[in-house]
Amino acid sequence: MSEMNKVNKFEGKRSENSGNRDNRDKREKRDFTREAPYAKDSYLSRVRVIADYQFGKGAGAGLFPDDCEFKLSATKRVRYIFLGKERLATLRANDGRLTLSQTGAKRLCETLPAPAYRVIVKDDVCEFVAAGKNAMAKHVTFADPQIRGDDEVLVCNEKGEFLATGTAVLSAKEMAEFNYGVAVMVRKGN
């Protein structure tokens, strides 16, 4: 086969491919404004699994009932979880974990058996924590041994009544040993 025939065959294939490019340009543009192709129960099962991972087995079903509604982000991922008009939780985009609202934290407090993810503070400071002030390490009387830094926790009084929700700054062991500093950054008080 001569060199000329090889080139012509190659050019012939090229011209066939260029026709495909024209066809691609003529195709309809995709519509990215429509809803994501997942079912509502898919979102529900996803957030329940995340809650079970984050707070322990059974937390997802107790925290998120079947009639939850979801608000999606611009990228069509679950961002907010609502029960009626009340926000239960927010799914953080940076690490995929849940942050709880007051309503969600109360539901979780009713669902989880004590002392799971609870930080107990002295009764002297309950009114401050319930007002949204941070829980200091010297006021902590007990913390669930499972708690690690950056965990979502429930702050309760010595009777076990829910006061606030927030993010643990210290682990449970550090909360018990430290006499100063913030133990829980309270997001919102009762």
pLDDT in tens, the chain (190 residues): 555 555 555 555 544 455 555 555 544 444 444 444 456 678 999 999 999 999 999 999 999 999 999 999 999 899 999 999 999 999 999 999 999 999 999 999 999 998 999 999 999 999 999 999 999 999 999 999 999 999 999 999 999 999 999 999 999 999 999 999 999 999 876 6
The CA-atom distances, in angstroms, between 74 and each of 44, 98, 171, 188 are 19, 18, 35, 27
Class of residue 169 by CB neighbours under 10 A (exposed 0-12, middle 13-18, buried 19+): buried
For 113, how many CA atoms within 13 A lie in the half-sphere containing its CB? 2
Q: Pinpoint the residues of the chain covered by CATH 2.30.130.10.
A: 114-189
| Vertex 171 angle, CA 168 and 174, to 5° | 120
DSSP for 83-147? ETTEEEEEE-TTT--EEE-HHHHHHHHHHSPTTTTEEEE-GGGHHHHHTTPPEEGGGEEEE-TT-
- Predicted model pTM: 0.75
Q: What is the pLDDT of residue 33?
A: 42
- Phi and psi of 154, rounded to 5°? -110, 125
Q: Pinpoint the residues of the chain covered by CATH 3.10.450.90.
A: 40-106
Task: Say which amino acid occupies 109.
Answer: C
- The architecture of the domain spanning 40-106 is Roll (3.10)
Whether domain 114-189 has CATH 2.30.130.10: yes
The CA-atom distances, in angstroms, between 186 and each of 64, 69, 73, 135, 157 are 22, 26, 25, 7, 14
For 124, how many CA atoms within 13 A lie in the half-sphere containing its CB? 6
Interatomic CA distance for residues 122 and 181, integer angstroms: 15
